[in-house]
Structure 1
Amino acid sequence: MDLVAHLRTALPLEAILTDPAVTASYANDMASFCEAGAPAAVVLPRTVEQVQHVMRTATALRVPVVPQGARTGLSGGANAVDGCVVLSLVKMDRVLEIDPVERIAVVEPGVVNADLSRAVAEQGLYYPPDPSSWEQCTIGGNIGTASGGLCCVKYGVTAEYVLGLDVVLADGRLLRCGRRTAKGVAGYDLTRLFVGSEGSLGIVVRAVLALKPAPPQQLALAAEFPSVAAACEAVCEIMARGHAPALLELMDSTSVRAVNSMANMGLPESTAALLLVAFDTPEPARDLAAVGELARAAGATEVVPADTPAESELLLRARRMTLPALERLRPATMIDDVCVPRGKLAAMMEGTAAIADKHGLVIGVCAHAGDGNTHPVVCFDPADEDEARRARESFDEIMALGLELGGTITGEHGVGVLKKQWLERELGPVGTEIQQAVKAVFDPLGLLNPGKVLDTRGA
């Protein structure tokens, strides 16, 4: 019995796509410079049992399986390989439970981040992780890449909100790990192991997520600086003085000009760096005033606080528009995701600017400054062979710079295909060996998302 016939024994016809013109549209995520193969089939299950059937079939026939969410990823982690089954989980999109007493939500992996946020807000609760693609990205994808977002400086990343998981293993068995309780330390923390594993260890089919009480509405300010170094000094002062902003973001001049060009936002194009700070505290105006003084002391030429939540949202909208604005500058972009210690943020951004000058490229940088997480966006034309080469070289040099500064090659986007060759440099030989051994325990046949994250020995 061939693959499709085997899948059809326990899946409805509409859940299996085999038309090459259709399956090709599932071949890759949003990353550049990442190879993608041709799937043998795309499966869109609606139940845990259907996912189990896919994995049992894949194991029996030795067919690779590539899990996918909304394919908003930026590292090639959802890219197909030749002859694989693409397992798209977008139809498993139910919010199964919201419990305001336990402050948890139980969801399927295809739930869109923004939909969950709105659902829990109706009960006075808050799910903090908010990637820039939150209106499209799914919770399963967020778990797979351990996503972050703009609010991480205060509230943390996805991993800190995943309490428990149901995971279909490579052989089709269902593993339940973690808990529903506020506390729990029984056994090894397998839940954290799956978070950030990019579908290479198992298929997440249900998640128990921690929630917070809904905070007050944010108030924000924008501060203009004559240099990136001065803006980064302000970031360090804000953190050193014990402030807890809900958001602390930085845009370089290239990003500011790109946003203005796309949306006529009226941002100050004369500035070298624009710092955005927001508080959701009981007295946000007081906190903004204190931070404004720190910004001025660090050299800010202008500090503009918002008076209302609506004005604040306008400022934050500018930051969320940075990536699409930079994408308009050239036909393609490569988005880096290097995170460094906060004290090295200026060196990272200034070094990135030097790399852009060296290669004659436009590289805009926006950053979750409070986390030291920079997003250099390399803009280039892939049809220009020399420019594409320079783009790839600059991307690699940015990652090398991040490691030299004591950072990591990815703060929230994941490794996928794009950064796989760099992972061993960061982990070292012992760390790489242990990770390969973990992969072999969960996926001894090497069927789950092969070719992603790290090179495996296979079976």
Structure 2
Amino acid sequence: MDTEGLIDRLRTALGDGAVLTDADVVAGYSRDMMPLAPAGTPLAVVLPESTPQVQAVVRACAEAGVPIVPRGAGSGLSGAANAVDGCVVLVTTRMNAIVEVDADNRLAVVEPGVVNLDLRAAVEKHGLFYPPDPSSYDWCTIGGNIATNAGGLCCVKYGVTTDSVLGLEVVLADGEVLRTGRRTVKGVAGYDLTSLFTGSEGTLGIVTQATLALRPLPQAPGTLVAAFGTVAAAGTAVSRVVREGVVPSLMEIMDSVSIAAVEEHLKTELGAGRGCAALLLCQSDSGGEAARAELARVEQVCADAGAELVHTTFDLAEGQLLLAARRAVLMALEVYGTWLTDDVCVPRTRITELIEACERISAEVGLKVAVVGHAGDGNMHPTIVYDPTSADEAARAHRAFEDILAAGLALGGTVTGEHGVGKVKREWLAREIGPVGLRAHRAVKAALDPGNLFNPGSMFDQDPG
């Protein structure tokens, strides 16, 4: 099938308005938010509205030998949704129905284009809660969250996306529909295919529906903020909180660079003016006396670790302001230049060493590096600020990005805690999992996608040569 024939077939299946070929429009769908990842020029962008339409696209592209790159809202930070030359980018944002909310069984069935925040708002009306909350939760989609196994600020208590996915509907490379998982609380029949597709970055199939576990709506949280004169003291507090067995609903850390940026951006004081080296922000949504007891234990741990200031509030508005400061870090850093955020996860006892490594790397490359992260699970987001119009600064930013990944691995960590491998960390995945692990990945890919149709070149190169 020639190119024009494929476009005609796609338009017949989806309608003219759902097949985009204008060069300027198509370019807007060619990459996500990771500036380092390569991106090609798509042949076309398609916006299906149903599973049968996805099947039609897959079958047409398979017959034409044209690769497909699935894409949600484009909020990713690994290049996993970046186009390859001559591909069809399949955008799932028009598949945005919340099919069912089963309050009695605490589950929801949704299409992949549902925005995370919209789902949270919808189930809240039933007294329920969908926990995964990536920083882009107000515009990222559930399909993208599933593809990258996204996390967020609440991971310490509620886990990442895979912990909330009960089952999936997936269009495979031959156009058939696979249904995985279950609606029951337990179920161990066969391989765990649901977990296999969750985090596969669109390389094995296209998710067209998901069954998600919900939780009871938490109580309004109490919030604690602790300021430390050294990063080491903050790291000690994190380790002791974990050792104490306290599981807050959120435990975040900000270094001095992040604090200063947010203070300037929000025109407020978070502690940097008093020589604060790190802030620890915790919340407990256990409610009532249980929340007060949890935060009291965290407060004591912070004081024992050398916190210079500890403040606890059960005022919801004040807590929201403190959390807004944490969420504003990336926007605040734009004052200094373009940001490039990394994503490494280390054992929680080694957070201090990672932050200190980032300080050293910052000095070596001569660029500002801010570190924020989910202290409760060791997932840190060192963010490099640079001038993208300067080839020299861009090269130094790339070097810092790579050096941070190396530091994370050296500390016994992983090169991605929640953003995924995509097209920017393929070499690092190979380093982390080794040749046997890489061979196993390729075998799974070959079994499910023998023609290398889905998202070729993401995560790893299917051809070992």
Query: Shorter-chain TM-score category?
Result: over 0.9
Provide the residue aligned with 1:273 in structure 2: 278
Confirm or deny: 8 A CA contact 2:38 2:424 kept in the other structure. Answer: no
For residues 385-411 of structure 1, the C-alpha deviation after alignment (integer angstroms, 9 at most, x for no partner) is 111111111111110111111100000
Aligned-pair distance for 1:458?
8.6
User: Which of the residues 285, 288, 296 maps onto 2:295?
Assistant: 288
Q: Which residue of 2 aligns with 1:309?
A: 316
Q: Distance in 1 between matches of 2:342 and 2:182?
A: 34
For residue 37 of structure 1, report the CA deviation from its aligned partner.
1.0
Which amino acid in the other structure matches residue 186 of structure 1? A
**Which structure 2 residues correspond to residues 36-435 of structure 1 after superposition, within 5 A?**
36-269=39-272, 270-282=275-287, 283=289, 284-330=291-337, 332-435=338-441
Q: CA RMSD in A?
A: 1.1
Alignment-mate amino acid for residue 347 of structure 2: P
Q: Is the deviation greater in 277-286 or in 55-64?
A: 277-286
Residue-by-residue CA offset, 1:114-173 (whole Å, 9 max, x unaligned): 000010000000100000100000000000000000010011110011110000011211
Instruction: Report the Cα offset of residue 252 of structure 1.
Output: 0.3
Give deviations 1:52-95, integer Å, cap 9, x for gaps: 00000010000010100000000111111111101000000000
Separation of aligned partners in 1, 2:47 and 2:285: 39
- Please tell me whether the aligned partners of residues 341 and 406 of structure 1 are also in contact (alpha carbons under 8 angstroms): yes
User: Which residue does 1:16 correspond to in 2?
Assistant: 19
Please say if residues 446 and 458 of structure 1, whose CA atoms lie closer than 8 Å, have aligned partners that are also in contact. Answer: no
Indicate conservation of the 8 Å contact 1:199/1:448, yes or no: yes
Counterpart residue type for residue 68 of structure 2: V
For the residue of structure 1 that corresponds to 2:14, the secondary structure is coil
Identity within the alignment, %:
53
8 Å CA contact retained: 1:255, 1:366: yes
Distance 2:433 2:60 in 1: 34
Cα distance in structure 1, aligned partners of 2:217 and 2:36: 40
| Structure 2 counterpart of 1:355, one-letter code | I
274-283 vs 128-137, greater mean Cα deviation: 274-283
TM-superposed CA distance for 1:265, in Å, is: 2.7
1:214-264 CA distances to partner (integer Å, 9 max, x unpaired)? 111111011000011100100011111111100000000100111111111
Question: How far off its partner does 1:286 sit?
Answer: 2.8
1:32/1:333 contact within 8 Å kept? no
Query: Could you tell me which amino acid in structure 2 is paired with residue 359 of structure 1?
Result: V
Q: Is the 8 A contact 1:445 1:458 kept in 2?
A: no
Cα offset, 1:285, TM superposition: 2.5
State the one-letter code of the partner of 1:347: E
- Conservation of the 8 A alpha-carbon contact between 2:112 and 2:144: yes
- Aligned-pair distance for 1:6? 1.5
Aligned residues: 458
In structure 1, C-alpha distance between the alignment counterparts of 2:416 and 2:244, rounded to whole Å: 27
Aligned-partner residue type, residue 249 of structure 2: A
Deviation for aligned residue 1:289: 2.0
TM-score normalised to structure 1 length: 0.98
Task: State the 1:41 CA deviation.
Answer: 0.7
Aligned to 1:452: 458
Is 2:8 the counterpart of 1:5? yes
1:13-69 per-residue CA deviation (whole Å, 9 max, x = no partner) reads 111111111111101100011111111111000010000000000100000101000
Task: Spell out, residue by residue over 1:263-287, the C-alpha distance to the aligned partner (whole angstroms, 9 max, x if none).
Answer: 1132111210000011011322332
Residue 265 of structure 1 contacts residue 318 of structure 1 at CA under 8 Å; is this kept in 2? Answer: no
What's the TM-score, normalizing by structure 2?
0.97
The aligned amino acid for 1:130 is D
State the Cα distance separating 1:447 from its structure 2 match: 1.3
Q: CA contact under 8 A between 2:330 and 2:339: conserved in structure 1?
A: no
Say if 2:39 and 2:84, in contact at 8 Å, map to a contact too: yes
Aligned partner letter, 2:283: A
**How far apart are the structure 2 equivalents of 1:16 and 1:55?**
14
Q: Is the 8 A contact 2:229 2:308 kept in 1?
A: yes
Checking the alignment, whether the CA contact within 8 Å between 2:234 and 2:278 is kept in structure 1 is yes
- Segments of 5+ residues of structure 1 without an aligned counterpart are none
The verdict on how the C-alpha distance between 1:9 and 1:307 changes in structure 2, with shifts beyond 3 A counting, is closer
For residues 59 and 337 of structure 1, the distance between their equivalents in structure 2, rounded to whole angstroms, comes to: 34
- What is the alpha-carbon distance in structure 2 between the residues aligned to residue 307 and residue 278 of structure 1? 10
**8 A Cα contact 1:444 1:458, kept in partner:** no
Q: Give the whole-Å Cα distance in 2 for the aligned partners of 1:162 and 1:458.
A: 32
Question: 1:238–1:59: structure 2 CA closer, same or farther, 3 Å change rule?
Answer: same
Checking the alignment, whether the CA contact within 8 Å between 2:61 and 2:68 is kept in structure 1 is yes
Distance 1:383 1:250 in 2: 31
User: How far apart in 1 are the matches of 2:189 and 2:336?
Assistant: 51
